[in-house]
Amino acid sequence: MNFTQSFRLAIKSLLTSKMRALLTMLGIIIGVSAVIVIVGLGNGIQVYMTEQFASLGTTTLTVNISGRGTSRNASDEEMYQIVADNPEVLSAVTPTVSVSGGVKIGRDTLYTASITGVGEDYLDIHGYTVAQGRGIQYVDILRRQKVCVIGTYVAQNYFTGDPVGQTLKISGNPYTVVGVLDEIGDSTEYSTDNMVLIPYTNAAKMSFMGTISSYTFTAVDENSVQPAKSAVENALYNIYGDEDAYTVVAMSEMLDMMTEMVNIVITILAAIAAISLVVGGIGIMNIMLVSVSERTREIGIRKSLGARRRDILWQFVIEAGTTSAIGGILGIGMGYVFSSAATALIVALLQESLAVTPTAGSVAMAFGISVAIGVLFGYLPARKAARLNPIDALHYD
């Protein structure tokens, strides 16, 4: 008996008891769909994280100055000098100073806006563009001019007409809006678009410490990130003489670390979900044992007509494999349906564009494992059927 005939017999057997066949496949269907959804979620999270880090700049280095163990403090001029001394690996730097408090615009006070003191290269480093007006310039920083650049959320919700030239108050001081940024996120209250940028010299004066403790450097390209990090660390060590006085973190390193953590979690979850595939395999073995008992006389007749052990073995192995393969195909379909539903649910609840995207590799892996488990667990009943004595099988009642 060839493969085609065995396959036809397997399909005929499954159609004879449709409900029993469906219940047998259920474990395989659930396992395959669960693996596809979980791996798809992991892939979606990776894409989402990459996009988020890309908006921050994968070539950026974040430097935080703690000054621990030393009274020495690096000036902003020394930080700019680090870039000037290493033009082959570093292209720009900007101080970043966070300012607490609200932004008063007319009669409204906006407490959720992020107020940040920045340098003239801040927009270029982060890839932001100006939709109206201009950005923060060197002369603004040098003269501590009370000017600011606002995000689209602030512009659209708290100003009428063109915001450029209008004023707002920070810590009681009036600031003139000189620019409006292009939309970065989704222009909601808790998005990146809810920001106000001012010269870092003004922000440092308003901060409690009166000093700048955070800087953002950018490397020339992705290949220069590690040399750039080493250059910054060496320069800071020469200034402070103590490695505990500062930290230098590359965004690309953070992305790699986060990706590795997500991969570990997704692998564990996928392994747990794959347990249902084993349960499905046990279900297939159970139903195949029942099928062997029910078809004992058929096996006896086939053996008496010249069927070999190998023919009987392959018949039942192919039937088990066919059952798991059909279950795998149904599981793939359900996996894509559940992935679409999960994507819609995430967008609706979290308001984030995180898509559950199954990969061809995960689909192929889940399907391959399901078929392999079906064949593996179907082998024992098939072996039992092949070893039946034809005389005993014919007398079986």
DSSP string across 259-286: HHHHHHHHHHHHHHHHHHHHHHHHHHHH
Residue ranges in 57-180 assigned as alpha helix (H): 76-85, 122-126, 138-143, 152-158
Q: What is the rounded end-to-end Cα distance, in angstroms, of the chain?
A: 26
Query: Tell me, what's the pLDDT at 396?
Result: 54
230 or 59, greater pLDDT: 230
pLDDT band at 80 (very low <50, low <70, confident <90, very high): very high
* SS3 assignment, position 197: strand
Whether 4 and 313 have beta carbons less than 8 Å apart is answered as no
CA 20 to chain centre: 39
pLDDT band at 3 (very low <50, low <70, confident <90, very high): low
Q: How wide is the angle at C-alpha 99 spanned by C-alphas 93 and 100, nearest 5°?
A: 155
Q: Which of 222, 214, 211, 247 has the alpha carbon at shortest distance from 232? A: 247
- What is the chain's percent helix, strand, coil content, to nearest 5? 60, 15, 25
Query: Tell me, what's the pLDDT at 144?
Result: 93
> CA–CA separation, 145 vs 163, rounded Å?
18
Least confident of 17-26, 322-331, 384-393: 384-393
CA 105 to chain centre: 37
Residue 391 has pLDDT above 80, yes or no: no
Residue 166 has pLDDT above 90, yes or no: yes
Most confident of 10-19, 103-112, 372-381: 103-112
Query: Tell me, what's the pLDDT at 388?
Result: 66
Which tokens in the block code for residue 34?
């669960």
pLDDT (average), residues 307-314: 73
pTM across the whole model: 0.61
pLDDT (average), residues 78-107: 91
pLDDT (average), residues 291-302: 68
Query: Tell me, what's the pLDDT at 53?
Result: 66
Mean of the per-residue pLDDT values of the chain:
83
- Phi/psi for 219 (5° steps) reads -80, 165
